[in-house]
């Protein structure tokens, strides 16, 4: 059901890069692992890890180093090591780490009767939400612990819509990663792109950050998009 103010019924937010910026922490933790492995991994490579799962990130690092991916048990050990370092960085997070506009957008759509969900690839998402003190701002949470198939598979967003009881065609997805935009498109949802990563140009509407989002413009674009589909 549409609300009085908006034609969409739900917004599903990605976490990293949309609500908060943990990509630097991911980078520092992966960099430490890459250094240990003797793989030359730099900041310029980090965009490739945006939105992709932990295991896929490790594969990409081995690809960058032109090295063969180790067998499963060893790969899991390496990924777990990186995650311990990553969690150390997370422990320093607070509500000050919310990106500009994130709280305003989430609270404004909720006040208008729109449902909100989190749709993140991260298994650490519940910890990050707690640190940011925004767990209560979501009617449903879907994260890396709930899904078997990583973005660009649409599973994470379809499960979010299902948990909210909203038809996918009435959902907006806010995403900063190309893989996430692809997942939103495959879920047949309206893709709101954040930033400039590869693949974000396929979104229906693009803004540099949630702080730049005009909700009336989102409403206009959503209505046109939905009208064009029926």
Both tokens of 206, joined, read 């693009």
- What are phi and psi for residue 117, nearest 5 degrees? -140, 160
Catalytically active residues are 14, 16
Which residue, 3 or 83, has its beta carbon nearer to ligand BG6? 83
Residue 171 binds what, of Mg ion, ligand BG6, none (CB under 5 to 8 Å, by partner type)?
none
Count of C-beta atoms within a 10 Å radius of residue 88: 12
Which residue, 20 or 116, has its beta carbon nearer to ligand BG6? 20
Residue 123 binds what, of Mg ion, ligand BG6, none (CB under 5 to 8 Å, by partner type)?
ligand BG6
Q: Smallest distance from the beta carbon of 36 to Mg ion, in angstroms?
A: 26
d(CA 218, CA 204): 9
- Element of type H or E holding 35: helix 23-37
Longest dimension (CA), the chain: 57
- Picking from 162, 160, 163, 165, the residue whose alpha carbon sits closest to that of residue 175 is 160
Give the interface with ligand BG6 as residue ranges (CB under 6 A). Answer: 15-16, 26, 49-54, 57, 83, 120-124, 144
- What are phi and psi for residue 217, nearest 5 degrees? -65, -40
Q: Smallest distance from the beta carbon of 175 to Mg ion, in angstroms?
A: 6
Scanning 27-35, 102-110, 111-119, 176-184 for contacts with Mg ion by CB under 5 A, the matching segment is 176-184
- Which of 176, 194, 205, 222: binder of Mg ion (CB under 5 A)? 176
Site residues (vs Mg ion, CB under 5 A): 14, 16-17, 51, 176-177
């Amino acid at each position: 059901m549409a609300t009085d103010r908006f034609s969409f019924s739900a917004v599903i937010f990605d976490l990293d890069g949309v609500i908060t910026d943990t990509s630097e922490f991911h980078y520092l933790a992966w960099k430490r692992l890459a250094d240990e492995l003797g793989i030359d991994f730099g900041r310029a490579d980090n965009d490739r890890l945006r939105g992709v799962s932990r295991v896929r990130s490790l594969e990409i690092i081995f690809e960058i180093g032109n090295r063969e991916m180790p067998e499963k048990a060893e790969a899991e050990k390496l990924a777990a090591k990186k995650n311990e370092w990553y969690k150390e960085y997370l422990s320093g997070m607070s509500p000050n780490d919310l990106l500009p506009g994130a709280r305003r957008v989430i609270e404004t759509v909720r006040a208008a009767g729109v449902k909100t969900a989190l749709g993140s690839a991260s298994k650490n998402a519940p910890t990050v939400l707690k640190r940011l003190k925004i767990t209560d701002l979501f009617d449903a949470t879907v994260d890396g612990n709930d899904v078997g198939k990583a973005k660009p598979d649409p599973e994470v967003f379809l499960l979010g819509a299902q948990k909210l009881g909203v038809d996918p065609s009435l959902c907006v997805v806010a995403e900063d990663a190309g893989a996430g935009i692809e997942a939103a498109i495959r879920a047949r949802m309206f893709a709101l792109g954040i930033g400039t990563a590869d693949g974000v140009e396929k979104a229906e509407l693009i803004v540099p950050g949630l702080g730049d989002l005009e909700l009336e413009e989102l409403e206009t674009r959503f209505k046109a998009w939905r009208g064009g589909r029926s």
